[in-house]
């Protein structure tokens, strides 16, 4: 057959038939995912599972409560949707609104940049800088950044920034002057498989839902007959609109040999599932947070807390430290994330407090019960509580406690003003007497009522 037949390759999408011996060597090799910036951006945008993992991480970090402090005074908290009246730091919203964006940049490229726009007197705002346009220039003698170069377009000269003009957040690794590999790069191979699966399906239907086909015709077939056959085959097979066209041909003279795979090759769900697990593992996101049918409610709840403990909170601490060192501290402020205010941790603390009470009432020494449950209490608090008989704490009204906490924050920022009046705080839960009592406690005129057990500090969480 090889001596008497002439082979032509047609895949339904080509504009013309291709002689088999004319194909270059790279036509027989699979595409190479080299992990460059353009390839990373493509996979992040077009692989649905990876796109969703990025969104989950970014949204999770945005959901963690935070507070901006000046000394021990709260300047602004995340539960205040509007910027406080009279706030002199007008640039604050331009950085707090960027937290999710910073996380997304770290996940994709291991680094994020913010430009400090200033006038002669003060900081005005924080402007986002596309990470892939920025390059830190390090000293050759020591790991110190001399300047930042920003390149936009190949034909334009770089824009230089002084080190104190830019906030640089990066994933620390083993290299002194380079960030470690991003989570997305660790998932590139698996994402490439999913991308090619989707691309294969798209191209398969785009070429009329047929497999790539070799037409074998006798070697002595006239060029005119070859052209006519190729022309018909291309018209019939190119595009989904031609998928059901037909034509009578001489079967003895022409042999159509399908090659490659069809849609049946996409039925390997085990391969797809394995690639998704690789991506989720590399990006630190549980399956149950990405796929609705991945787990039952109880498992999803445990996965969510584990996700925050092992992925989100360490990322919060990294971003918090970088922003404080380069931005907030020079302005006399500091940013503090408050994960203990989240419902998943509040429920856990309530359960631990109940368990502590049950242990103590059962006769277990308080200092032993505290260690068993992993609760960190000061030594003097343990001594004081051990000296008194255990009393079941009164169950607080959660809504009332939250409202009282909001009023305390509101009052702390305004109580030194001459026009301050507790009644100015509108509430359907707290009475004016309640507000007055809270203000008295803040000023030291009375005792403020605290929760039975103090909330755990940031360091108590992994």
Per-residue pLDDT reduced to its tens digit, 353-392: 777 777 777 777 877 777 776 666 666 655 655 655 555 4
* Residue 309 dihedral angles phi and psi, to the nearest 5°: -65, -45
In this structure, the chain runs to a length of 462
The strand ranges marked E within 193-337 are 213-218, 255-258, 334-337
**Arithmetic mean of pLDDT, 39-43:** 75
pLDDT in tens, 413-451: 887 777 788 888 888 888 888 888 888 888 775 444 443
* Cα end-to-end span (Å), the chain: 69
Contacts of 430 (CB under 8 A, 6+ apart): 400, 403, 404, 407, 438
Spatial CA neighbour of 317 closest among 61, 115, 63: 61
- Residue 404 and residue 430: Cα distance in Å, rounded? 7
Give the 3-state secondary structure of residue 312: helix
> pLDDT at residue 35 above 50?
no
pTM: 0.60
- Residue 248 and residue 233: Cα distance in Å, rounded? 11
pLDDT in tens, 75-134: 889 888 777 766 778 888 888 889 999 999 999 999 999 999 988 888 989 999 999 899
- Residue 132 and residue 62: Cα distance in Å, rounded? 23
pLDDT in tens, 3-26: 454 545 445 444 444 444 444 444
% pLDDT > 90, the chain: 22
Domain ranges for the chain: 339-392, 394-462
% pLDDT > 70, the chain: 65
* Ordered DSSP codes for 146-180: EEEEE--STTSPPEEE-GGGEEEEE---SSSSSPP
Q: At what angle do helices 37-46 and 48-63 cross, to 10 degrees?
A: 90
Q: Are strands 255-258 and 334-337 parallel, antiparallel or unpaired?
A: unpaired
Contacts of 69 (CB under 8 A, 6+ apart): 75, 333, 334, 335, 336
198's tokens: 């989707």
- Residue 361 and residue 430: Cα distance in Å, rounded? 34
Using pLDDT thresholds of 50, 70 and 90, give the confidence band for residue 238: low
Q: What is the pLDDT of residue 409?
A: 87
Contacts of 451 (CB under 8 A, 6+ apart): 396, 401
């Amino acid at each position: 057959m090889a001596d008497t037949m002439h082979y032509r390759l047609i895949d339904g999408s080509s504009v013309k038939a291709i002689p088999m011996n004319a194909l270059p060597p790279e036509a027989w090799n699979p595409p190479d995912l080299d992990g460059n910036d353009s390839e990373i951006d493509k996979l992040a945008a077009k692989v649905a599972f990876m796109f969703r993992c990025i969104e989950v991480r970014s949204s999770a970090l945005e959901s963690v409560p935070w507070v901006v402090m000046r000394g021990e005074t709260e300047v602004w908290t995340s539960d205040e949707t509007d910027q406080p009246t009279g706030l002199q730091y007008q640039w604050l919203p331009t950085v707090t609104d960027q937290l999710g964006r910073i996380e997304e940049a770290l996940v994709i490229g291991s680094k994020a940049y913010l430009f400090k726009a200033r006038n002669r007197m003060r900081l005005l705002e924080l402007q986002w800088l596309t990470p892939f346009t920025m390059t830190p220039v390090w000293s050759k003698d020591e790991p110190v950044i001399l300047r930042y170069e920003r390149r936009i377009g190949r034909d334009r000269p770089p824009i230089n920034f002084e080190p104190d003009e830019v906030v640089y957040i990066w994933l620390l690794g083993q290299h002194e002057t380079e960030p470690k590999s991003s989570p997305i790069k660790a998932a590139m191979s698996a994402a490439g498989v999913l991308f090619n699966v989707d691309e294969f399906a798209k191209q398969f239907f785009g070429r009329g839902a047929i497999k790539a086909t070799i037409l074998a015709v006798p070697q002595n077939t006239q060029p005119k007959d070859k052209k006519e056959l190729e022309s018909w085959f291309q018209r019939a097979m190119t595009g989904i609109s031609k998928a059901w066209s037909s034509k009578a041909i001489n079967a003895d003279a022409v042999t159509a040999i399908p090659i490659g795979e069809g849609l049946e090759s996409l039925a390997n769900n085990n391969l797809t599932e394995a690639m998704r697990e690789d991506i989720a593992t590399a990006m630190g996101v549980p399956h149950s947070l990405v796929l609705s049918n991945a787990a039952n409610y109880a498992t999803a709840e445990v996965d969510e807390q584990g996700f925050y403990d092992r992925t989100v909170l360490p990322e919060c601490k990294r971003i918090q430290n970088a922003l404080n060192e380069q931005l907030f501290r020079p302005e006399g402020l500091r940013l503090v994330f408050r994960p203990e205010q989240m419902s998943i941790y509040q429920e856990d603390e309530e359960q631990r407090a109940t368990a502590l009470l049950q242990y103590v009432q059962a006769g277990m020494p308080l200092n032993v019960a505290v260690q068993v449950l992993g609760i960190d209490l000061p030594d003097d608090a343990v001594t004081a509580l051990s000296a008194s008989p255990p009393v079941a704490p009164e169950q607080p009204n959660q809504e009332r406690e939250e409202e009282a906490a909001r009023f305390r924050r509101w009052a702390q920022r305004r109580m030194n003003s001459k026009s301050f009046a507790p009644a100015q705080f509108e509430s359907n839960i707290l009475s004016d007497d309640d507000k007055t009592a809270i203000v008295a406690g803040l000023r030291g005129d009375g005792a403020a009522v605290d929760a039975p057990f103090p909330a755990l500090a940031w360091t108590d969480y992994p």
